[in-house]
Amino acid sequence: MKKVFAEDILRDKVAFVTGGGTGITGGVARAFAEHGAKLAIVSRKEESLIPMKQLVEENGRECLAVTADVRDFVEVENAVQRTVEHYGRIDIVVNGAAGNFLCAAERLSANGFGTVVDIDTKGTFNVCRAAFEELKKSGGQILNISATLHYLATPMQIHVSAAKAGVDAITRNLSAEWGRQGIRVNGIAPGPIEDTEGMKRLLPEGLKEKITRKIPLQRFGRIADIENAALFLASDAASYVNGVTLVVDGGQWLMGTSLA
């Protein structure tokens, strides 16, 4: 996809990106680096981070790989501290770390439900909370990666729907509380995005064509579509945008097209 933003819109901004090694948030991290940002990418597993670190560095940008489980506040605090020791600041936080699997509500264990809520919702809070002082200093911002699953109802996804509804609540509440401190807080709700591990696992076999016909824009999204939305929200072009979760789904959720 052709680049639509000037390549220096995030020059020297430090972006702390959870889940930034792979998938949609990996694309966002890479796009931020291509537009001038210095990266700290965070994941539970180092092997999820190394290929992205190498790619970013090959392209002449800086990338710190930090292992931390977003469910563990102390690990998150340490990851924030390492980033600040390395770069001296944090300007942008992207909460992209997420858990997901398909499971009917009557078969889902309490721990299965809680695990996804812990990763997505509590993890998002933990990272925002741990980065608050740095974001206050830098006049920074937060971008929470959400979903559209909870706008209507999505069978087999009660855990993720509840978790992402919580993420959206965090976006709104923090935008109100921290906007006063100069921190913008927004979200992005991707629709069906092709070529992601999540979609490969979550999309039932043979349904892609049927779903495509029901998407007003008649195609699945691409990771680049989410990258561009994130670049806009992270840039000065969005300096008066606060408390919004931007839906990037080709109009899919309005049609009530369940993915599961």
Listed in sequence order, the residues at least 6 apart from 220 whose beta carbon sits closer than 8 Å to its beta carbon are 192, 193, 194, 199, 208, 211, 212, 250
Instruction: Name the residue type at position 234.
Output: A
Nearer to ligand HXC (CB atom), residue 140 or residue 192:
192
Residue 99 within binding range of ligand HXC, rule CB under 6 A: yes
- Which of 147, 156, 185, 211 binds ligand HXC (CB under 6 A)? It is 147
The Cα 209–Cα 218 span in angstroms is 10
Nearer to ligand HXC (CB atom), residue 28 or residue 116:
116
Nearer to ligand HXC (CB atom), residue 124 or residue 138:
124
Residue 259 within binding range of ligand HXC, rule CB under 6 A: yes
CA angle 193, 186, 200 (to 5 degrees): 15
Least CB distance to ligand HXC at residue 250 (A): 13
Listed in sequence order, the residues at least 6 apart from 151 whose beta carbon sits closer than 8 Å to its beta carbon are 253
Phi, psi dihedrals of residue 69, rounded to the nearest 5°: -95, 120
Phi, psi dihedrals of residue 185, rounded to the nearest 5°: -130, 115
Residue 101 within binding range of ligand HXC, rule CB under 6 A: yes
Residue 109 within binding range of ligand HXC, rule CB under 6 A: yes
The Cα 24–Cα 10 span in angstroms is 19
Binding mask 10-29 for ligand HXC (x = CB under 6 A): -------------x------
Nearer to ligand HXC (CB atom), residue 8 or residue 205:
205
The Cα 99–Cα 145 span in angstroms is 12
To which residue do tokens 């561009």 refer? 228
- Among 54-62, 125-133, 196-204, 217-225, the segment contacting ligand HXC (CB under 6 A): 196-204
Nearer to ligand HXC (CB atom), residue 123 or residue 140:
123
Find out whether 185 and 144 touch, Cβ atoms under 8 Å: yes
b/e sequence 9-23, b meaning 16+ C-beta within 10 Å:
bbeebbbbbbbbbbb
The Cα 40–Cα 29 span in angstroms is 9
Residue nearest to ligand HXC (CB): 99
- Among 101-109, 169-177, 180-188, 232-240, the segment contacting ligand HXC (CB under 6 A): 101-109
Residue 100 within binding range of ligand HXC, rule CB under 6 A: yes
- Which of 57, 197, 214, 218 binds ligand HXC (CB under 6 A)? It is 197
Residue 106 within binding range of ligand HXC, rule CB under 6 A: no
DSSP 121: I
Residue 47 within binding range of ligand HXC, rule CB under 6 A: no
Residue 115 within binding range of ligand HXC, rule CB under 6 A: yes
Residues at the site binding ligand HXC, with contacts judged by CB under 6 A? 23, 98-101, 103, 109, 111-112, 115-116, 147, 149, 160, 197-198, 202, 259
